[in-house]
Amino acid sequence: RVLNFGSLNVDYVYQVDHMAREGETQRAAGREAFPGGKGLNQSVAAARAGVQVCHAGLIGDDGQMLLDVCRENGIDTRFIRAIDGPGGHTIIQIDKNAQNSILLYPGSNGALTEDFVDEVLSHFGRGDTLLLQNEVNLLPYIIDRAHEKGLTIVLNPSPINETLASCDLSKVSVFFINEIEGGAISGAHDPEKILDHMLKTYPDARTVLTLGGAGSCFCDAHSRIHQAAFPVSAVDTTAAGDTFTGYCVYGMLKGLAWAETLELAARAAALSVTRKGAVPSIPYLEEVLNFT
């Protein structure tokens, strides 16, 4: 089983003529609400690949649509709790040139308590996998408790911030990072150097480094693999990394070789960039297997 202790966001997208400027009041021409958050996206991707995912997290007053999306995708929602007050959300302005500006409010994603973490983790143990991103509070605590209980910890340390310095990352079995995160962690730009750094710092861990249209690479103590991206005409790369991570979790749980896992994830992510949006762009396993 996979437990994803992760963010659940509503993305509010406003169509504007231009970004609101300091002191200006601007009327938006339209508003749409979409499910989002790296946590939710990765749970949906893993679930569409065929993984039994249990998502744990907190939603706020406006979170019913997030619960609905999880249920529609067969995700176990028994540890998604609603609290009073605003949920995690973004306010996204999209101007007439399709440029965006994003305001993120963590809301309920920042309201996890140690009691809730303990309660959720009491239902999991050795043999289970914990998937984490860096969009909820208490990450250091979650990692320590999960490690004590023998869960395999998979971390996408995104976004990079000071919280990560308080985490004992030697307890992580698999890292998923992109070039920006890899650069921030290692101080290097060259992918090989980023992998060298990860291996030196976390010799027992595996690292998957994604490189956008340049594909991805993997390293552990024994091998390095490079997987090219599948050539597609990209429409919207939102959730490409989350789709990639979700499908890699599927490959790991199935016991596929890493080369095979990366190829499957690259197919899934390529499909996702040909479609608009986050959740709607995440493909199902059958489509991924038929994609050439």
249 binds ligand ADP (CB under 6 A): no
Give the other-Cβ count within 10 Å of 190's Cβ: 11
Angle among Cα 201, 175, 204 to the nearest 5 degrees reads: 45
225 binds ligand ADP (CB under 6 A): no
Give 93 or 210: the residue with its C-beta nearer to ligand ADP: 210
According to CB under 6 A, which residues from 69 to 88 bind ligand ADP?
A: none
Give 109 or 216: the residue with its C-beta nearer to ligand ADP: 216
Give 220 or 263: the residue with its C-beta nearer to ligand ADP: 263
159 binds ligand ADP (CB under 6 A): no
Q: Any catalytic annotation for residue 128?
A: no
Annotation-wise, does 183 bind a ligand?
no
152 binds ligand ADP (CB under 6 A): no
Q: Which of 51, 143, 240, 279 binds ligand ADP (CB under 6 A)?
A: 240
Q: Which of 18, 237, 257, 260 binds ligand ADP (CB under 6 A)?
A: 237
5 binds ligand ADP (CB under 6 A): no
Q: Which of 20, 83, 199, 211 binds ligand ADP (CB under 6 A)?
A: 211
Annotation-wise, does 288 bind a ligand?
no
Is residue 35 within 8 A of residue 58, CB to CB? The reply is: no
In whole angstroms, the minimum distance from the beta carbon of 14 to ligand ADP comes to 23
Give 77 or 272: the residue with its C-beta nearer to ligand ADP: 272
Which pair of structure tokens corresponds to residue 204?
């027992």
241 binds ligand ADP (CB under 6 A): yes
Q: Which of 120, 270, 278, 282 binds ligand ADP (CB under 6 A)?
A: 270
Give 38 or 55: the residue with its C-beta nearer to ligand ADP: 38
281 binds ligand ADP (CB under 6 A): no
If we measure between CA atoms, which residue out of 63, 62, 109, 58 comes closest to residue 79? 58
Query: Which range of residues in 61-69, 130-138, 187-195, 230-238 is near ligand ADP by CB under 6 A?
Result: 230-238
Please give the C-alpha separations between residue 183 and each of 37, 138, 139, 147, 199, in angstroms, as whole numbers.
22, 24, 21, 26, 14
45 binds ligand ADP (CB under 6 A): no
DSSP the chain: -EEEE---EEEEEEE-SSPPPTT-----SEEEEEEE-HHHHHHHHHHHHT--EEEEEEE-TT-HHHHHHHHHTT-EEEEEEE-SS--EEEEEEE-TTS-EEEEEE-GGGG---HHHHHHHHTT--TT-EEEEESSSS-HHHHHHHHHHTTPEEEEE--S--GGGGGS-GGG-SEEEEEHHHHHHHHS--SHHHHHHHHHHHSTT-EEEEE-GGG-EEEE-SS-EEEEPPPP---S--TTHHHHHHHHHHHHHHHT--HHHHHHHHHHHHHHHHTSSSSGGGPPPHHHHHH--
Give the residue numbers of the binding site for K(+).
236, 238, 272, 275, 277, 281
- Which residues fall in the annotated binding site for substrate? 9-11, 37-41, 135, 242
Residues annotated as catalytic are 242
Residues making up the annotated binding site are: 9-11, 37-41, 135, 178, 210-215, 236, 238, 241-242, 272, 275, 277, 281
